[in-house]
A and B are shown apart, each in its own frame.
Chain A
Amino acid sequence: DAGITQSPRHKVTETGTPVTLRCHQTENHRYMYWYRQDPGHGLRLIHYSYGVKDTDKGEVSDGYSVSRSKTEDFLLTLESATSSQTSVYFCAISEEGSNEQFFGPGTRLTVL
């Protein structure tokens, strides 16, 4: 299995609080992605990164920000969590020259 970890694995928080999810890889892959998974929607891209300090928005980026200061870490921040952000969040990685993506175990976030 690709070396991808996500933390925390589960989190319950309240509306209006900031939340940061972490994705850590040991594969030294260039590309990293954050997706959210909701019933009936499959996985939808939030943000992705194509290198340290290089990020871009996906289709559902509103209310989310990301940072990547090191190759191995990609952080997803909800500045002020809302109930609509209750979801399962997956991190994925891919290496240069391939779009084959490897997924982390996911983080289940509940916003009350």
Chain B
Amino acid sequence: AQSVTQPDIHITVSEGASLELRCNYSYGATPYLFWYVQSPGQGLQLLLKYFSGDTLVQGIKGFEAEFKRSQSSFNLRKPSVHWSDAAEYFCAVGPYTGRRALTFGSGTRLQVQP
């Protein structure tokens, strides 16, 4: 069975500081990995995705993530956090085709201090 673990429920960083959100997955085949962001009261917006190729992927809003197969990880990073990045972040894993849905982690809530 596939699963996603986001070990940090809540993270607080200062504006301008760097950020890394952790994601570990368990999946029996080649994973298709995603990071989504959810602002309060909003739906989910895709930040970035990885299926194959370069293991460092760039996304929107200055985010990037690195796929490490040996560690079953897909951590999200941003070099300098902005106050508008305060939100909840979800990592997800699934198959490449759409017949089966994604499995989501429980989320990491990011708070940004001025």
Q: Which residues of A contact B (CB under 8 A)?
A: 30-31, 33, 35, 40-45, 48, 50, 58, 90, 92, 94-106
Asked whether B106 lies within 8 Å of A99 as measured between CB atoms, the reply is no
Look across to chain A and name the residue whose beta carbon is closest to the beta carbon of B94. Answer: A99
List residues of B whose CB falls within 8 A of some A CB.
4, 6, 9, 32, 34, 36, 42-46, 49, 90, 92, 94-107
Instruction: Report the Cα distance A101→B36, complex, angstroms.
Output: 10
Question: Residue of A at shortest CB range from B44?
Answer: A103
Q: How far is the CA of A108 from the CA of B99 in the complex (A)?
A: 26
Inside 8 A of B32's CB, which chain A residues have their CB? 99
A102 vs B45: C-alpha distance when bound (angstroms): 7
Task: Give the total number of A-B pairs whose CB atoms are below 8 A apart.
Answer: 66
Please, which residues of chain A bring their CB within 8 A of the CB of B103?
45
Report B7 CB to chain A, min CB distance, Å: 13
Residues in chain B near residue A98, CB distance under 8 A: 96-98
CB pair A102 B98 closer than 8 Å: no
CB < 8 Å neighbour of A42 from B42, B98, B106: B106
Is B43's CB under 8 angstroms from A104's CB? Answer: yes
Most buried by B among A48, A95, A101: A101
Select which of A31, A43, A45, A104 is within 8 A of B90 by beta carbon.
A43
Given contacts A99-B102, A100-B49, A103-B44, contact A42 B107 (CB under 8 A): yes
